[in-house]
Amino acid sequence: MSRVVFSFLALVVFLTTGCDRQMKYTISGTWKGADGQVVRLLEGWGENQDKVIDSVIVKDGRFHLEKPINQVGRGMLEFGTYFRPVLLDGEPVEIEVEGFQGDTTVKNSFVLQGSPEQTVMDKVQGIQMLRVFAMAFGIAVRDPML
């Protein structure tokens, strides 16, 4: 299944990088109760999280990141203790964050909406996380594509 999804994403990258138009990523959202906190966009999905591509301070509960990109890429959004992979494909990304992960004294939620490819990527990541969790408890996991 993951091969199919990654092949699909590779096709999207190939088709969008062949265009002459200048792309940009646009990430906007709200983060309730987080004025003064920093939202960071890190390079990659974990292999180079020390490199900050972009950052912004939350003001009046809102934030906005936007820069030109040469090709479709991936990044990791950091919201305090929240980390979330994001597809930088030229499609706007809208995010709503409430609270802080691990803080049980307030409601915590995180909603990210982007391109259809972002949705597919999120589902694949969720399946992979379930597999890791199941294997940690010795539960056999069968590949649904077999």
Q: What does each of the 146 residues of the chain score in pLDDT, given as a tens digit?
A: 555 445 555 555 555 555 556 899 999 999 988 899 999 999 876 666 678 999 999 999 999 999 999 888 888 888 887 788 888 989 999 988 887 665 666 566 667 777 777 777 666 666 666 666 666 777 766 655 44
Q: What is the CB-side half-sphere exposure of residue 69 using CA atoms within 13 A?
A: 23
Of 51, 107, 117, 59, the C-alpha closest to 87 is 117
